Copies of this chain bind each other. A is one copy, B any other.
Amino acid sequence: MATKLAPACRSIALPAPLPLDSGQALDRVKIAYETYGELAADRGNAILVCHALTGDQHLASPHPITGKPGWWDRMVGPGKPIDTNRFHVICANVIGSCMGSTGPASLASDGKPYGMRFPVITIRDMVRAQIALLDALGIARLHAVVGGSMGGMQVLSLAANFPDRVERVLAIATTARHSAQNIAFHEVGRQAIMADPNWQAGDYYSTETSPDAGLAVARMAAHITYLSETGLTEKFGRRLQERDEKGFGFDADFQIESYLRYQGLTFTSRFDANSYLYITRAMDYFDLAEEHGGKLADAFAASRARFFLVSFDTDWLYPTAESRSVVHALNAAGAPVSFLELSAPFGHDSFLLDVPALDRVIRGFLEQ
Contact = CB atoms under 8 A, between A and B. Distances in A.
19 contacts: A120-B248, A177-B238, A179-B229, A179-B232, A180-B236, A180-B238, A180-B254, A181-B224, A181-B229, A181-B232, A183-B238, A183-B257, A184-B256, A187-B256, A187-B261, A188-B220, A188-B221, A197-B197, A221-B221
A250 B190 contact: yes
Contacts of A261: 187, 191
B277 A184 contact: no
B220 A187 contact: yes
A227 B183 CA distance: 14
Given A191-B264, A195-B213, A238 B287 contact: yes
A187 B229 CA distance: 15
A226 to B, nearest CB: 11
A80 interface: no
B257 A187 contact: yes
The complex is assembled from copies of this chain, and their number is 2
Name the interface size band of chain A: 35 or more
Given A120-B249, A184-B257, A197-B197, 15 more contacts: A120-B248, A120-B250, A177-B238, A179-B232, A180-B229, A180-B233, A183-B256, A184-B256, A185-B224, A188-B217, A188-B260, A190-B250, A191-B220, A195-B214, A254-B284
Contact of A179 (B21, B217, B233): B233
A288 interface: no
Given A213-B195, A220-B187, A264-B191, A238 B178 contact: yes
B179 A191 contact: no
Nearest to A290: B238
| Max chain B C-beta neighbours (<10 A), residue from A187, A216, A220, A261 | A187
Q: Which 8 A-B pairs have the closest CB atoms?
A: A195-B213, A180-B232, A120-B248, A22-B248, A180-B236, A180-B256, A187-B257, A181-B229
Contacts of A229: 179-181, 316
**Chain A interface helix/strand/loop/mixed:** helix
Contacts of A185: 224
| Max chain B C-beta neighbours (<10 A), residue from A188, A216, A254 | A188
Contacts of A256: 180, 183-184, 187
A219 to B, nearest CB: 10
Contacts of A217: 188, 191-192, 195, 217
Interface string A220-261: 110010010100110111100000001011101110110011
A119 interface: yes
A260 B233 CA distance: 28
Nearest to A202: B250
A286 to B, nearest CB: 10
A290 B191 CA distance: 37
Contacts of A196: 195
A285 interface: yes
A281 interface: yes
A295 B269 CA distance: 43
Contacts of A214: 195
Contacts of A264: 191
A194 interface: yes
